[in-house]
Structure 1
Amino acid sequence: MASLNKLYENPVMQKLQTLGGKFQSNNALNAISNGMMGTMSLILAGSIFTIIATLLSLTGVLQATDTVYQWLQLPYNMTLGLVSVAVAFGIAYSYSKSLGIGKELANGFVSMFLFLMVASPAHSVVLEDGSALTVLDTSFLGATGLFTAIIMSLVVVRIIKFCTDHNVTIKMPDSVPPFLGDSFAALIPLVINIVLWCGLNTLCQNILSASIPALIIGLLSVPLGALISVPGMFVLGFICMLLWSMGIHGTAITNAIVFPVLMGAYQVNAELVASGAAPVFSAVMLFGALTTVGGTGNVLPLAICCLRSKSAQLRAVGKAGVVPAVFNISEPMLFGAPIMYNPILAVPFILNGLITMLIIYLGYMVGFLQPGYVLIMTALPVFMQEVLGSMAWQNIFIPIVAFVVGYLVYSPFVRIYDKQCLENEQAETASAGK
């Protein structure tokens, strides 16, 4: 306890805590946090159905091609698969409220509408029977479009505020009902936003042959291509976790580099095993250390730490996130804690995976851990994926190591954040009692 107290009193930790307080008081960052946390119930509900589908699949009751299995996966696909749409609405709503410009609901809808126009414009396709169908491309409506949704929501609201502050609106007579007057008042800011975002998106598509979301993902992916090596995996891991902590889908960006190499490594090993030879280690296999116990960021130990917290907020997040984390679904913790734009939790979120990666690498080098040769493309409960992917009992120690490292790394930072959350809750209670 004395050592922990010294850690809390460390100047670096004190500065980190001060920085966290400043982040929490920032309107834009608060809006981002609130917008993301608002999606937690959606993601949690979808996660429950995914867990049921996974259990039924593992026990042989259902196959992935069964209609019931596909039905059980639908809620998850329609929650996480559309999470950026909900975030675009939630951030704009919260940001409008914190800036005091009013019309929060209308501004949320405007932001969501504009995000859909940019990230998923309607296309007409001709089916095999000759009939035409209008469809929306959902590629960037999930977590891959998250950073675009964040930027657009903040800029959209700022444009609306600028127009409101400078009376760049259509004013109706006082006799006009308020809801009708608000609709006309929002017309000019809406047109400005449409011209800005649709014009910018069209410009990007015509000149660079990519939409704004695709351009963001592409630009961030290009410089990472030379990083496929053992040191490169540590760099990619750091970048992936850092991007997640900034609200960018780091996995989607780094997967453009990691996944093709990973598939090749597993194919080589599958051929070796089929010929009677032993599978070989590839540096790209280290990337799994970032997600082995609780999904992205190894958040299962974080959920356990939250369950032991004193603040009601963190205990609630821990209760909501612990079961999905057992099934390697990290979104309830990522959005609920939250980790994004939260410097106190971002540090252990980034650090624990890198330490785990180093220990696992040493395990491979001494020959204890075994390389995988069965590529499993679905989320499985903790302990299962590593064993089934390699058919080696030794690999059960990968999530064990990750849990121990994660708990030791997350614990002191959660204590700091818990203290901050508890003080905020006590201040709110005292304020409400006056």
Structure 2
Amino acid sequence: MFDKFEAFMNKYLTPIANKMDKQRHLSAVKKAMVAMTPLLIIGSFCLIPEAIPNMIGENNPISQWILANLDIIYIPYNVGMALMSLYVAAVISYHLAQSYKLDVPGTLSMGVIAFLMMAVDYTEDGGIMTTYLGPKGLFAAMFASIIAVELYRWCKKKNFTIKMPESVPDFVSRSFEMIPISVIVIGFFLIIRVVCVNGLHTVPPMIFTNLFAPLVGSMDNPFAVTFLQILRCLLFFFGIHPSVLSPITSPISTQFLAENMEMVKAGGKAMHFFTPGVESAFGNFTGTGVTFGLVFWCLLSKSKAQKQVGRVALIPALFGINEPILFGAPIVLNPIFFIPYVICGGIIGTIPHWMMHFGWVSCSTFTPPYVGVFLEGFLTNGDYMSIVANGIQLILSILIWYPFFKLFEKRELEKEHENEEKKSVISAEDEALLNDLDLDF
């Protein structure tokens, strides 16, 4: 049964996943979202000082200084996370330009201009609104930058450029070369803008918001998140890194984190549990599939090989890295470990999400760096119940992995015993015969 399932996965799913991972547009989106990690961390840090007066009271010098300087404290957030979509458009354009071997400055500028043509809105007094320059405009930024680069590439391919004599300096030649390309790209997105504003009476980013609303809304459902986590474990079980899903999931989780931060900044309560920090600290607690239980039993194993695997995998597991146990035990393509890793690991990884859904654990407003298990979960929300949630995950992992590991260990011990017998040049019977002869050389 398992062999047929493995053959099906290798025949149909693995090629699709590999193509997704190598597809240049999805790869550019993934790299852009990873590049936003520093902005998420710095933006999250900016919310911490505002919480201090609530913790220690307002009638003290520290709290008074914080309250008096909140505008300054929020500057990194306002120029970082609040303009995230603008940066995403630039980074996607950059990586696409590199993959196509196009002029990076030219494509980058076209990607940014294309996004601004779609996302910029104005106040009544003529000022620029930044509503859609932040996480709310992520999908529009992806669309605009990708289409802009493809238009740029098409223009170059069709020679819709101005060719200057070779005697003209390169930087001047490139500037003139960009004129017809700029006209085409800006004209294309100007038409989109006019159609959306005058015909549909809304700015383009709202179109994308409405189109992706079902997908984004589904990630606020714990059932959907549990299914997603099981899918991640399933991919990893077959040796496919679950990061192939990040171009789809990262924009949603990032948008939710930004909305949580806005809610807290406005004096409200964070409501979204599908955020980058939660995925790392809880979904990947001790690694994707919560594999610490297997590491624990490997450390206590009678098998020399598995004990050594446990020793090697322990420290990485404490920092959410489980490749040593995945490929060392191994878990990957091991039928015995399919249920504890894929099914149980996916469920255990989302227990904190369910606790957040029911209000037992606070939702995240911070994406901490990799600081180790328990502490990382606590830093996502500052709620001590996060430590309790991680503790529940740890205990369940140890209990669930035990019967499956003992079955695996029994087979490993049999193999080790067989290998030891094969290593012996003289059989047990011959050795006994020699002992009986009592030969003295």
- 2:34 is the counterpart of 1:37: yes
Q: Is the 8 A contact 1:360 1:398 kept in 2?
A: no
Which residue does the alignment assign to 1:91? 92
Which residue does the alignment assign to 1:219? 211
Which residue does the alignment assign to 2:114? 114
Within-5 A mapping of 1:11-410 = 11=7, 18-51=15-48, 54=51, 58-60=55-57, 61-62=62-63, 66-100=67-101, 102-121=102-121, 123-126=122-125, 134-221=126-213, 234-235=223-224, 245-246=247-248, 249-250=251-252, 288=273, 290=274, 295-299=277-281, 302=284, 305=287, 382-383=377-378, 397-398=388-389, 400-401=391-392
Q: Is the 8 A contact 1:302 1:407 kept in 2?
A: no
| Residue 175 (structure 1) shift | 2.4
Secondary structure, aligned partner of 1:203 = helix
| Residue 22 (structure 1) shift | 2.8
Q: AA paired with 2:37? A: M
After superposition, the Cα gap between the structure-2 partners of 1:173 and 1:161, relative to the gap in structure 1 and judged at 3 Å, is same
Q: Separation in 2 of the partners of 1:360 and 1:30?
A: 28
Which residue does the alignment assign to 2:338? none
The share of aligned pairs that are identical, in percent, is 23
Q: Separation in 2 of the partners of 1:224 and 1:39?
A: 19
Q: Separation in 1 of the partners of 2:144 and 2:251?
A: 16
Secondary structure, aligned partner of 1:176 = coil
| Residue 399 (structure 1) shift | 5.1
| Residue 402 (structure 1) shift | 5.9
| Residue 299 (structure 1) shift | 4.0
Q: Separation in 2 of the partners of 1:213 and 1:407?
A: 46
Q: Separation in 1 of the partners of 2:398 and 2:85?
A: 30
Q: AA paired with 2:30? A: S
Structure 1 unmatched ranges of 5 or more: 1-5, 127-133, 259-265, 268-283, 309-317, 324-347, 410-434
Number of positions where the alignment pairs a residue of Structure 1 with one of Structure 2: 317
Q: Is the 8 A contact 1:301 1:406 kept in 2?
A: no
State the TM-score, normalized to the length of structure 2. Answer: 0.55
Q: AA paired with 2:23? A: N
CA deviation profile, 1:399-425 (whole Å, cap 9, x unmatched):
54467789999xxxxxxxxxxxxxxxx
Q: Separation in 2 of the partners of 1:253 and 1:51?
A: 19
Q: AA paired with 1:160? A: Y
Q: AA paired with 1:144? A: K
| Residue 163 (structure 1) shift | 0.7
Q: Separation in 2 of the partners of 1:224 and 1:34?
A: 20
Give the alignment's Cα RMSD to 1 decimal. Answer: 5.3
Secondary structure, aligned partner of 2:127 = strand
Secondary structure, aligned partner of 2:69 = helix
Q: Separation in 1 of the partners of 2:393 and 2:158?
A: 54
Structure 2 unmatched ranges of 5 or more: 233-244, 261-267, 293-315, 321-340, 368-375, 401-441
| Residue 160 (structure 1) shift | 0.8
Q: Is the 8 A contact 1:204 1:212 kept in 2?
A: yes
From the CA coordinates, give the structure whose radius of gyration is larger.
Answer: 2
State the TM-score, normalized to the length of structure 1. Answer: 0.56
After superposition, the Cα gap between the structure-2 partners of 1:146 and 1:254, relative to the gap in structure 1 and judged at 3 Å, is closer
Q: Is the 8 A contact 1:84 1:143 kept in 2?
A: yes
After superposition, the Cα gap between the structure-2 partners of 1:220 and 1:35, relative to the gap in structure 1 and judged at 3 Å, is closer
| Residue 397 (structure 1) shift | 3.4
CA deviation profile, 1:153-190 (whole Å, cap 9, x unmatched):
11111111111111111122222221111111111121
Q: Separation in 1 of the partners of 2:68 and 2:94?
A: 37
Q: Is the 8 A contact 1:119 1:140 kept in 2?
A: yes
Q: Is the 8 A contact 1:81 1:142 kept in 2?
A: yes
After superposition, the Cα gap between the structure-2 partners of 1:103 and 1:357, relative to the gap in structure 1 and judged at 3 Å, is closer
